[in-house]
């Protein structure tokens, strides 16, 4: 039976700290303890933000089930405040289209939805970091319309992590017959405050897809040369 795909709200460790009147470093410590006990990779929840002095800092973005798990040991009052905020976030989310009945199509629909959200965030981050400002409102509107059409054409390439704009480690290794480490690419993304895309992978479920500039700066790999015709 088809079911409505409802996006899951997330809360940051900073927001939880504000709601519970705790120091952020203590909430982060509680998160890391929870990740360790549940054997979860904390990198999957890690997010970079700029503090009041414009320095990159780490916070964690938690889905609803992990938020509820985290606050189990908090007082009733604090749990109530966090849960009320979760309800607010859920109420703001609109239901998504019906999923297909077969599993492969359903997984692809999930990946597509997630990719679109990731792409919006990715492009915004790149624009901020390169100080790309658009002053003319009409030009901005025209560019947004054109960008939508381009993204639709590019979406199928990006969602498998092998395009001129971003690529997974496995896709580049397949094209070059060389091995690459993910840590230098992740370090590049952190230094530029850019979040790599998460794309569907048949073997691992989801993997990181790193931007073209990261591949160029870290490994001198030109994605346009590798995937320009794909």
Q: Does position 188 have pLDDT exceeding 80, yes or no? A: yes
pLDDT digits (tens, 9 = 90+) for 69-99: 888 888 888 888 888 888 887 777 655 555 5
Higher pLDDT, 27 or 148: 27
Band of pLDDT at residue 2, cut at 50, 70 and 90 = very low
Q: What are the tokens at 44?
A: 């999957």
- Bigger pLDDT: 225 or 23? 23
Contact 115, 159 (CB under 8 A): yes
Q: Which H or E run contains 209?
A: strand 205-211
- Cα separation, 75 vs 69, in Å, equals 13
- Give yes or no for a contact between 27 and 74, defined as CB atoms under 8 angstroms apart: no
- Measured CA to CA, the distance from residue 194 to residue 164 in angstroms comes to 17
What is the average per-residue pLDDT within 128-149?
54
Mean pLDDT of 141-162: 55
H helix runs in the chain, sequence order: 13-20, 24-38, 64-70, 76-92, 103-129, 137-159, 169-176, 182-191, 212-219, 223-227
- Cα distance between residue 10 and residue 216, in whole Å: 33
Q: How confident is the model at residue 125, as a pLDDT?
A: 66
pLDDT of residue 140: 58
Question: What pLDDT, on a 0 to 100 scale, did the predictor assign at position 105?
Answer: 64
Residue 66: φ, ψ to 5°: -75, -30
Q: What is the mean pLDDT of the chain?
A: 77
Confidence of residue 127 (pLDDT cuts 50, 70, 90): low
The answer for residues whose C-beta is within 8 angstroms of residue 221's C-beta and 6 or more apart is: 172, 176, 215
Cα–Cα distance measured from residue 50 to residue 191, given in angstroms and rounded to the nearest whole number: 12
Measured distance CA(118)–CA(165) in Å, rounded: 13
Tell me the per-residue pLDDT of 57-71, one tens digit each, with 9 for 90 and over: 999 999 988 988 888
């Amino acid at each position: 039976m088809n079911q409505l795909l409802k996006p899951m709200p997330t809360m940051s460790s900073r927001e939880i700290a504000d709601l519970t009147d705790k120091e952020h470093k203590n909430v982060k410590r509680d998160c890391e303890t929870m990740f360790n006990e549940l054997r979860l990779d904390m990198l999957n929840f890690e997010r970079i933000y700029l503090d009041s002095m414009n320095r990159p800092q780490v916070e964690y973005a938690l889905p609803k089930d992990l938020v509820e798990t985290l606050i189990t040991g908090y007082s009733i009052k604090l749990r109530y405040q966090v849960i009320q905020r979760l309800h607010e976030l859920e109420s703001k989310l609109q239901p998504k289209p019906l999923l297909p009945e077969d599993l492969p199509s359903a997984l692809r629909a999930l990946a597509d939805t997630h990719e679109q959200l990731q792409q919006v965030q990715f492009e915004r981050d790149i624009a901020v970091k390169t100080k790309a400002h658009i002053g003319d409102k009409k030009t901005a509107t025209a560019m947004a319309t054109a960008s939508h059409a381009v993204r639709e054409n590019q979406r199928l390439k990006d969602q498998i992590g092998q395009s001129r704009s971003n690529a997974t480690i496995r896709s580049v290794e397949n094209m070059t017959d060389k091995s690459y480490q993910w840590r230098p690419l992740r370090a590049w993304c952190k230094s530029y405050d850019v979040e790599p895309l998460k794309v569907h992978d048949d073997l691992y479920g989801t993997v990181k897809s790193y931007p073209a500039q990261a591949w160029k700066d870290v490994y001198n790999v030109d994605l346009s040369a590798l995937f320009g015709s794909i």
